[in-house]
Amino acid sequence: MIRFIAQRILWTFVVLLFLSLITFGLMHAVPGGPFDREKTLPPETIKVLNEKYHLDDPLWKQYVDYLVGVLVPRVNDNPPTSLTDSYLINIPLWGDTEFHWMNFGPSYRSRSRTVNDIIREQLPISFQLGVLSIIMSLIIGMPLGVIAALKQNTVWDYLGMSVAIFGVSVPVIAMGPVLVWIFGVALKWLPPAGWGSKPPYLMFFVPRQLGWDYWRYTILPVFALGVSHAAIIARLTRASLLQVIREDYIRTARSKGLTERIVVTRHALRNALIPVITVLGPMFAAIVTGTFVAEQIFGIPGLGKYFITSITNRDYPVIMGTTLLYGMMLLLANLMVDISYAWLDPRIRYD
């Protein structure tokens, strides 16, 4: 198992390298640059900007410099004044010296922040929203799916699946404003927009205060995001549980005299969860790095917006940074999913 994990982590680096190469090539192939303005900048200004950000270097050199910045760690005691000399991971060692790693570069659009700052400050918020949404969708979706499967073709089944279809069909862009209107504007019970925590965070993403002032901002967006994903989980749980319930070993367990609850939770559910976990991996990676639409509707300062705006702005370091981040999350999530297979189904073994 350890060898398996080590091998996969090595593969992660290789895949991310390919990802970075393809993204770099594509983003430079698209016409337009980061300094295109309606009022064309004079050539001297463009030359100066290109020099500052090393965009006049040959493409291969830009790529190699970027990789070196991201991969090579540094140990120094430079004060954090320059925007080009900032890193994502800073671990204080002794005195003023720190261990620095992962410099994703500056942002061309914002002249006061680097990609590292953006990731450090906005990713935790997307992470919080994502984790809460996943928990919400599991809390809603799994019981719904289980009940629907156990009581197949009864009113509970049809009700459950109708709610599921509703959740899948009504996207956040429709449900969000409706929820905001009802609870935020008409009833004024919950705030229509905003988020309740601000940097710095504990343990990278945990907010410092967790009172009502924090939770009241999370209720509407988590519900809106959670319901649509809950639907997918519900349908998947129902379908796979239906299949497992028909198996012989379930009939054996029942005939042994076990209670229905033990039969379902201990025997049926564990095997039924494999398709659900498979889907949960990429879903987790996608939600946790930020959803553009939900964050815009609820005014949540997450990372989702940067995935889209960086491309319109041709902000190359942000494009690379967000893509690599998403890739890393996805690969890690898939690794977790594969490891959990071994726990769920003893027949699956890695060696």
Report 145-174 residues binding another protein (CB under 8 A): 154-155, 158-159, 162-163, 166
302 SS3 class: coil
Residue 11 has a CB neighbour count (10 Å cut-off) of 12
**Alpha-carbon gap, residue 249 to 251, rounded angstroms:** 5
From the CB of 141, what's the least distance to another protein, in Å?
17
Helices (DSSP H) in the chain: which residue ranges? 2-29, 43-52, 59-71, 115-150, 155-169, 172-179, 212-245, 248-255, 260-262, 269-288, 292-297, 304-312, 316-344
Give 82 or 97: the residue with its C-beta nearer to another protein.
82
**Alpha-carbon gap, residue 24 to 259, rounded angstroms:** 58
Kindly state the tokens that stand for 60: 């291969």
Provide the CA 237 distance to its chain's centre, in angstroms: 22
Give 23 or 296: the residue with its C-beta nearer to another protein.
296
Interaction of residue 143 with another protein, rule CB under 8 A = no
From the CB of 211, what's the least distance to another protein, in Å?
18
Report 38-67 residues binding another protein (CB under 8 A): 38-42, 44-45, 48-49, 51-52
Report 305-324 residues binding another protein (CB under 8 A): 305, 309, 312-314
Report 249-278 residues binding another protein (CB under 8 A): none
Kindly state the tokens that stand for 224: 């809106």
Counting residues that bind another protein (by CB under 8 A) gives: 66
DSSP letter at 324 equals H
From the CB of 338, what's the least distance to another protein, in Å?
35
From the CB of 326, what's the least distance to another protein, in Å?
18
**Alpha-carbon gap, residue 32 to 266, rounded angstroms:** 58
Kindly state the tokens that stand for 64: 């190699």
Chain residues in the site for another protein (CB under 8 A): 30-33, 35-42, 44-45, 48-49, 51-52, 79-83, 109-113, 117-118, 121-122, 154-155, 158-159, 162-163, 166, 177-178, 180-182, 184-188, 191-195, 198-199, 296-299, 301, 305, 309, 312-314
